[in-house]
Amino acid sequence: MIIAFATILCLASCSKDDEGASSNTQEQEQEEEKQSFVKESDLYGVWVVSGNADSLYFISFSEAGKYSYCFNSTMMGAGTYKLDKNKLTLYNGYLNTIDVVNLEKDNSQIKITGDLQKFKASTKQSVNISISKMNKELPISKTGEVFKIWGLHNTYGSTITYIKYESEYLIKYQYCKDNSLKQVISEANWFYVYNDDMTYTQDCSGNGEVVIYKLQDHYSTLKSQIIKQ
């Protein structure tokens, strides 16, 4: 009888522990629901940085898990992302860095706070911005496309500039003599992101300054196609 009574007490105690654990789990789930986490499907599309008068600065997210952004005149990035509740991890494809920022819903906007790696910088830069969703389509791949700009140079005579999208992140710039040999006068590699018919670039050997172009085949100069520098 003593053994049976002890067994009953033990079972009752375990039952209460299970009930307590279940109650704690339910409370935790309810608390998480109250926090209103950003869903990955909420991110899909193109967002503009709020307070940006000319609407040039943006961030975009695709359903395939890719992102690209330009937040100011020196901060740009692209690669793949992962969302865990309100923590967004950005794997920068051309800087080979990993950044983690926090997201917070604010009515129709999303607030981004955290630290992002800058181009060729030893330290990260803090960001605290709000973004608003725009009715714009995500850009398709530009890889393989080439633009040609014809011009006249006092020293070299007729010239031609080639802008080739070599890969997902890299552009090849070449300034050449417009002759049968297409002799190269100067060349460079640019990192880029693309949004709304505009190409955002950072010279790979430069200081990180972002130059925004609206590129097209034309008889003019490359400089004439700059939107913002």
For residue 61, the one-letter residue type is F
Residue 140, pLDDT > 90, answer no
Q: What is the pTM of this model?
A: 0.83
Residue 83, pLDDT > 80, answer yes
**Residue 54, pLDDT score:** 81
Residue 31, pLDDT > 60, answer no
**Residue 5, pLDDT score:** 47
Rounded mean pLDDT, 57-82? 96
Q: Which of 28-37, 92-101, 176-185 comes out lowest in average pLDDT?
A: 28-37
Rounded mean pLDDT, 29-38? 64
Structure confidence at residue 11 as a pLDDT band (50, 70, 90): very low
Rounded CA-CA distance 178/221 in Å is 14
Structure confidence at residue 192 as a pLDDT band (50, 70, 90): very high
Question: Bridge partners of 89?
Answer: 82, 100
Question: β-strand 146-153 against 218-219: which pairing, if any?
Answer: parallel
User: Do the beta carbons of residue 38 and residue 105 sit within 8 Å?
Assistant: yes
Rounded mean pLDDT, 158-162? 94
Burial class (CB in 10 A: 0-12, 13-18, 19+), 181: exposed
Residue 46, pLDDT > 90, answer yes
Tokens encoding 17: 């522990």
End-to-end CA distance of the chain: 89
